[in-house]
Amino acid sequence: MTNHHIALIPGDGIGAEVLPPALQVLEAVGRRHGFGLTCTLYDWSCARYLREGAMMPEDGLDRLRDKDAILLGAVGYPGVPDHVSLWGLLIPIRRGFRQYVNLRPIRVFDGLDSPLRAAGEVDLVVVRENVEGEYSEIGGRLNRGFPDEFAVQEAVFTRAGVTRVLDYAFDLAARRGGRLTSATKSNGIVHTLPFWDELVAERGAAHPAVTWDQEHIDALAAKFVLDPARFDVVVGSNLFGDILSDLAAAVAGSIGIAPSANLNPERAFPSMFEPVHGSAPDIAGRGIADPLGAIWSAAMMLDHLGHPEAARDVTDAIAAVLAKTDVRTPDLGGTATTAEFTDRLLQIL
Amino acid sequence: MTNHHIALIPGDGIGAEVLPPALQVLEAVGRRHGFGLTCTLYDWSCARYLREGAMMPEDGLDRLRDKDAILLGAVGYPGVPDHVSLWGLLIPIRRGFRQYVNLRPIRVFDGLDSPLRAAGEVDLVVVRENVEGEYSEIGGRLNRGFPDEFAVQEAVFTRAGVTRVLDYAFDLAARRGGRLTSATKSNGIVHTLPFWDELVAERGAAHPAVTWDQEHIDALAAKFVLDPARFDVVVGSNLFGDILSDLAAAVAGSIGIAPSANLNPERAFPSMFEPVHGSAPDIAGRGIADPLGAIWSAAMMLDHLGHPEAARDVTDAIAAVLAKTDVRTPDLGGTATTAEFTDRLLQIL
Ligand SMILES: CC(C)[C@H](C(=O)O)[C@@H](O)C(=O)O
Ligand SMILES: CC(C)[C@H](C(=O)O)[C@@H](O)C(=O)O
């Protein structure tokens, strides 16, 4: 039997409440599809930061390096600044393991209300560049505290970094509906984004089976609201991909259940899977967190580990529980606890 | 009688079709409220660029400098790259005349369909920083054409530049509902946006009558879809304000009629008023362009020129024509021509 070694990082708040349901689901499909999981648990979190002064140990990445994948709950705690929790854990893992693709599927499920009158059949994937671009460490401030103070921040787009994520996106589009949209703003941001556009045209020419176009991010955000069903694969820089994936999830009525995969497609390093939702300190500890984001992220992990049928079983079960039952956690308007909802999903599975 | 000297720049495409209706409306309210307009017409456009090699003459800004305001139609023409049309006309005017506030009101009008099931009473203003930030000339490329090619672009946020637009936004919030939301992404973009956040806190303390909060741009974009009615004044950087204003207009069902004002609040230089829509080459020349964006922009100009009652008459007439008639141009689902629609609006006025 294939066995996969998974690093579990529950993190903070509801992170610890959504990973156990995801593991139950993984075990259930593993039995059916003939693979097993060995899990190692890491307490890396804001709680650890408050106790020991660091989100993770200094050799944190080395401890994860030999794992087949990382499943993360959520990170964030009132009183710990975002830049500590993110740049002390999430972003170092993304960058240290060259997880340069951030994949965020968005679907309108039957049984979930979209806020749009006519969302249509939304089924798109945002492919976000995940290690360079606008999220750069390069920059700083001059004249701190004086009237002439200013801050600069350098966005950096490399040919290699953009090309690899574009190739991933074009390949994905070829396997899906054959259409790709690139998010740009080359009319206003005149150095990095014209370069992005050129590389899109170059990679587009290398993928003749894919029809592609590009939209400025302002117009694209509007079109996500006006006609989300027309999109298939949407590729964007680190910042644009971040904005568009949250927006698309809101449009699909699924912001609380959205999953994400931080992929190193070459498998030189472990990839990381995490729900898009945060640690939700307001509801943590009450057993009512929605486990769907974590479960859907676990399905993406299965796909990455080479078990696409098992992954499909999980997403089919998610679709079925939403379409055929009214069991819902409070975030989706129901009264079920995390455990009740998970039980129902396991039955359907 | 007060007289104002207005520079008219119809630009390209439907730009030339939407300014005459705006002028008819301005004349009508001018008669009622006792002011007159003298207009000077400028043919600056992509057409001029194709003919003479430049969007405007070299001394273009000097020719506008003594005007009381600028009313612009739309710029853009197939075959003329965006960076030529924008950086050859629009952006030099915004920057050269220190129009550091870009003001974009968004309302859900009775009689216009929002794509949202429950948009509620959306009535918000996006205040966008308009001359610095992410739209910066600083940057370039190294190793052009080689595998190690890369591009950098520097976002620049100055204390003076951010403070003045925040003060404008806080003052506006104090005159409106007393609430302000700042768009940020200081968790990911760690040099410029933490500085922005600090300045928001500083200016917030100086405006105790205004309740303010901040949201990361990804979450904020989602909230614009999930609950747009909760926002009053939203302030953002050049890029974030651009994205949010298009998104909000889409949510309100009014993307084709959205107006904007590029303001130099100190009145050291003329301000510029322009509909958000583009030159729409696909429908240009057919007399069916929707003049509402230009008319609403003209109303913002009246407000800036010191005629708030006249401005209100115009926006009241817009609301009335939408609520009480079904006369609409094709973009809003009707069959009226630009002239028929304008006549109806003038009757109501
Ligand atoms: C055309 C473009 C440069 C411009 C901008 O982003 O400023 C437009 O989108 C706008 O909002 O006026
Ligand atoms: C928390 C933040 C830095 C992060 C990001 O923008 O990458 C989050 O929004 C996400 O999308 O995973």
Give the residue from B189, B223, B252 where a domain finishes: B252
Q: Tell me: do B198 and B247 sit in the same domain.
A: yes
Q: Is residue B10 within 8 Å of B4, Cβ to Cβ?
A: no
Closest CA to B206 of B161, B150, B166: B166
* B221: region left, alpha or beta (phi > 0 left; psi from -120 to 50 alpha): alpha
Ligand 1 binding pocket includes B86 (Cβ within 6 Å): yes
Contact B107, B216 (CB under 8 A): no
- How far is residue A63 from each of residues A7, A66, A86, measured CA to CA in Å? 9, 7, 19
Strands B123-129 and B101-107: antiparallel
Using 50, 70 and 90 to split pLDDT, how confident is the model at B83?
Answer: confident
| Six-digit token string for B64 | 């506008």
User: In the β-sheet with A35-41, what is the strand arrangement from edge to edge?
Assistant: A35-41, A2-11, A69-74, A271-275, A259-263, A101-107, A123-129, A233-236, A179-184, A211-216
- Residue B3 CB: number of other CB atoms within 10 A? 11
pLDDT, tens digit (0-9, with 9 covering 90-100), for B247-259:
999 999 888 899 9
Catalytic residues of A: 135, 185, 218, 242, 246
Does the beta carbon of A335 sit less than 6 angstroms from any atom of ligand 1?
Answer: no
Residues A98 and A122 in one domain: no
When pLDDT is averaged across residues B310-322 and rounded to a whole number, the result is: 97
B198 to chain A, any CB pair closer than 8 A? The answer is no
HSE at residue A19, side-chain half, CA atoms within 13 A, is 25
CB of A62 closer than 6 angstroms to any ligand 1 atom:
no
Q: Which two tokens stand for residue A338?
A: 């995390």
Say if residue A61 is in the same domain as residue A47: yes
**Which pLDDT belongs to residue B118?**
83
Are residue B194 and residue B142 in the same domain, yes or no? Answer: yes
Is the Cα dihedral B315, B316, B317, B318 positive or negative? positive
Taking Cα atoms as reference points, which of B220, B214, B322, B337 lies closest to residue B287? B337
Compute the C-alpha angle A171/A162/A75, nearest 5°: 90
Q: Is B157 on the interface with A (CB under 8 A)?
A: yes
One domain for residues B119 and B247 = yes
B125 and B233 together in one domain? yes
Is pTM beyond 0.85? Reply is: yes
Looking up residue B178, the CATH number of its domain turns out to be: 3.40.718.10
Per the rule left: phi > 0, alpha: psi between -120 and 50, beta: everything else, A191 is alpha
Compute the distance from residue B258 Cα to the ligand 1 centre, in Å.
13
SS3 A121: coil
Q: Can you tell me the distance from the alpha carbon of A26 to that of A43, in angstroms, rounded to the nearest whole number?
A: 21
* CB-based contact B191 A153, cutoff 8 Å: yes
CB-CB neighbours of B333 under 10 Å: 10
Residues of chain B found within 8 Å of residue A150, distances taken between Cβ atoms: 156-159
Predicted confidence at residue B173, as pLDDT, reads 98
- Give me A282's structure tokens: 């307001």
The answer to whether residues A184 and A296 belong to one domain is no
Give pLDDT, residue B294: 98
The whole-number pLDDT of residue B312 equals 97
Q: Give helix B159-175 / helix B192-206 axis angle, nearest 10°.
A: 40
Of the listed ligands, the closest to the CA of B240 is 1
Q: Are the beta carbons of B189 and A222 separated by less than 8 Å?
A: no
> In the sheet that A150-158 helps form, which strands lie side by side, from edge to edge?
A139-142, A150-158, B150-158, B139-142
Check CB contact under 8 Å for B153 and A151. no
Task: Identify the sign of the CA torsion B323, B256, B132, B155.
Answer: positive
Of A194-208, A270-284, B109-123, B313-327, the range with the lowest mean pLDDT is B109-123
Interface test with A, best of B149, B157, B200, B202 (most A CBs within 10 A): B149
Into how many domains does chain A fold? 2
Q: Is B192 an interface residue toward A (CB < 8 Å)?
A: yes
What is the spatial distance between Cα A249 and Cα A228, in angstroms, rounded to a whole number? Answer: 10
Max CA pair span of chain A: 66
Nearest CA in chain A to B242: A218
- Answer whether A124's CB lies under 8 Å from A236's CB: no
Which residues of B form the catalytic set? 135, 185, 218, 242, 246
Interface test with A, best of B83, B87, B138, B246 (most A CBs within 10 A): B246
What is the SS3 assignment for B344?
A: helix
| A118 and A49 housed in the same domain | no
> Does A181 lie in the same domain as A100?
no
Question: What is the spatial distance between Cα A319 and Cα A111, in angstroms, rounded to a whole number?
Answer: 8
Contact yes or no for B186 and A135 at CB 8 A: no
Q: Give B-chain residues touching A186 at CB under 8 angstroms.
A: 82-83
Backbone φ and ψ of A70, nearest 5°: -125, 130
CB–CB contact A226 B192 (8 Å) = no
Identify the CA nearest to B102 among candidates B41, B164, B53, B152. Answer: B164
**What is the per-residue DSSP string for B62-107?**
HHHTT-SEEEEEE---TTS-HHHHIIIIIHHHHHHTT--EEEEEEE
Tokens 């614009």 found at: B224
What backbone torsions phi and psi does residue B311 show, to the nearest 5 degrees? -60, -45
Instruction: Provide the token pair at A239.
Output: 């910042």
- Put simply, whether B335 touches A (Cβ < 8 Å) is no
For residue B109, is it within any domain?
Answer: no
User: Any CB–CB contact under 8 A between B222 and chain A?
Assistant: yes
Pocket test for ligand 2, best of A239, A242, A260 (most atoms within 8 A of CB): A242
Q: Please calculate the CA angle A203-A206-A208 and round it to the nearest 5 degrees.
A: 115
Give the residue on B whose Cα is nearest the Cα of A83. B187
Q: Residues A5-42: pLDDT tens digits? A: 999 999 999 999 999 999 999 999 999 999 999 999 99
Return d(Cα B129, Cα B202) in angstroms, integer.
Answer: 17
The angle at the Cα of A283, spanning A280 to A286, to the nearest 5 degrees, equals 135
Is A18 in the same domain as A89?
A: yes
Distance in angstroms (rounded) separating the CA atoms of residues A145 and A149: 6
Chain A's closest residue to B277, CA to CA, is: A219
- Asked whether the predicted pLDDT for residue B1 surpasses 90, the reply is no
What pLDDT score was predicted for residue A83?
81
User: Closest approach of chain A CAs to the CA of B199, in angstroms?
Assistant: 11
**Which of B184, B185, B186, B187 gets mutated to test ligand 2 (max ligand atoms within 8 A of its CB)?**
B187
Cβ-nearest to B247 among A187, A225, A255: A225
What is the domain extent for residue B222? Answer: 114-252
Which of A55, A84, A90 to probe ligand 2 with, by most ligand atoms within 8 A of CB? A90
Per residue in B205-223, pLDDT (tens digit) is: 999 999 999 999 999 999 9
Residue at a domain's end among B252, B282, B305: B252
The whole-angstrom separation of Cα B228 and Cα B328 is 25
B117 interfaces chain A, CB cutoff of 8 Å: yes
Q: Is B6 in a helix, a strand, or coil?
A: strand
At B256 the pLDDT is 84
Is B1 within 8 Å of chain A by CB? Answer: no
Whole-angstrom distance between the N-terminal and C-terminal Cα of chain B?
A: 21
Mean pLDDT over residues B113-136, rounded? 92
Q: Is residue B108 situated within a structural domain?
A: no
Does the pLDDT of residue B238 top 90, yes or no? yes
Q: Which helix (H) or strand (E) holds B211?
A: strand B211-216
CB B14, CB B283: distance < 8 Å: yes
Give the span between the Cα atoms of B236 and A1, in whole angstroms. 54
- In this predicted structure, what is the pLDDT of residue B166? 98
Q: What pLDDT does B113 receive?
A: 85
- φ, ψ dihedrals at B115, nearest 5°: -70, -10
Residue A127 and residue A183 in one domain: yes
The Å distance, Cα A132 to ligand 1 centre, comes to: 25
Q: Does A218 touch chain B (CB under 8 A)?
A: yes
| Minimal C-alpha gap between A211 and chain B (Å) | 21
pLDDT above 90: residue B97: yes
Query: How does the average pLDDT of chain B come out, rounded?
Result: 96
Tell me which of B116-120, B173-177, B326-330 is least confident.
Answer: B116-120
Query: Does residue B271 share a domain with residue B221?
Result: no
Model confidence pLDDT, tens digit, residues B26-49: 999 999 999 999 999 999 999 999
Helices A217-226 and A238-251, axial angle in degrees (round to 10): 10
pLDDT for residue B326:
93
Tell me the C-alpha distance between A275 and A271, whole Å.
Answer: 14
Among B252, B283, B306, residue at a domain's last position: B252
Residue ranges, chain A, pLDDT below 50: none
Measure A71 CA to ligand 1 centroid, in angstroms: 40
Beta bridge partners of residue A3, listed in sequence order: A36
Distance CA B38, CA B22 (A): 14
